[in-house]
Amino acid sequence: MPSPQHQFLARVVPVLRRRGEVDDADALRRGVLAAQARAATDPPARTVRGCEVTTRTDLGFPVHELRVRGTDPGRAVLYLHGGGYVAHADPGHWRYVVRLARRLDARVVLPVYPLAPQWTWRDSHPAVLSLFEQLAIESPRGVVLAGDSAGGGFALALAQQLAARPGPQPTHLVLLSPWLDLTNAAPGTAEANARDPWLRLTRLRLAGSWWAGGDDETRPEVSPLYGDPAGLPPTLMFCGTLDTFHPQCRELVRRAEGTGWDLAYVEEPDLLHVFPILPVPEAGPALATTLEFLAEPGSGRG
């Protein structure tokens, strides 16, 4: 049974998010653009206390890198935040990446990638692929590719593109409640959404169409559920059953069977969307599982 903290959060999420179904797409678009314009994209000073933060802008958008002050890790995590491709990273994302930096002895890189509806996947993918390749050159212990929700789908889509061409590859993938299919067509999705206190299908459909930018929403770059698993690195995926996306995650597992892809799936009953980054006790075991999955030989962790 979910913890009391999780049960409380499940009750208040609809109130805090105030996200009902959409009846005016133009109004939603205006609201999204206004929220993006107001949003702060710098790391919250209190959250990243004890970390050294540097920011680069040569890709056309800010890319924040953080590491524990006084360290020079040879390992990197490229983290792609969620937000439906329409929202910037929030404090919960920053708390999570700081934990990764501290517990993994890694530098964590979080790009402020261009968002829909002003931009599409075509404006973000090439730049973030280039960022990954630069990080791989600079990281003798390799690069982990990770993300939550839309960022999880983005991470898997990038990994598929990297696997299809020569060059450096991520050592691991970590996907937290990933949005894998912008069509939201997996069997059971409507039923899952009816139980989900957070996500709404009308909003997802609009955001997905903006991100696809007129392209076929089943193309793997936007819906990696339909991509080729060949050559993908070991992958750890989490999802709760109180999440609209859990049918998509199950479908990915089904499609991975017999392909040779090392995909570990952790599904937790009655837990919310992106529960591993939420302020609930259930996030602790998820982090421990992640650290064990990413443990390096000789690290003493596991």
pTM: 0.96
Task: For residue 117, say if its preceding peptide bond is cis, omega within 30 degrees of 0.
Answer: yes
- pLDDT in the model for residue 302: 42
Task: For residue 124, report the phi and psi dihedrals to the nearest 5 degrees.
Answer: -105, -40
Q: Are strands 51-56 and 263-272 parallel, antiparallel or unpaired?
A: unpaired
Sorted by where each starts, the structural domains of the chain and their CATH numbers stand as 49-294 (3.40.50.1820)
Rounded mean pLDDT for each run of 10 residues along the chain, 302 residues in total: 93 71 85 94 94 96 96 96 96 96 96 98 97 97 98 98 96 98 95 94 94 97 97 98 98 97 98 97 98 79 45
235-242, strands of its sheet edge to edge: 51-56, 63-68, 107-111, 76-80, 143-148, 172-176, 235-242, 263-272
Look up residue 40 and give its amino acid: A
- Residue 279, Cβ neighbours under 10 Å: how many? 11
At residue 189's C-alpha, the angle toward residues 187 and 193, to 5°, is 160
Residue whose C-alpha is closest to residue 175's, from 121, 135, 229: 229
- Tokens 């999802």 correspond to 239
- pLDDT in the model for residue 296: 75
Looking from the CA of 144 toward its CB, the CA atoms found within 13 Å total 28
- pLDDT in the model for residue 20: 66
- pLDDT in the model for residue 100: 96
- pLDDT in the model for residue 18: 59
**Under 8 Å CB-to-CB from 6, ≥6 apart: which residues?**
271, 272, 275, 278, 280, 281, 282
- pLDDT in the model for residue 294: 97
- Tokens 């933060």 correspond to 53
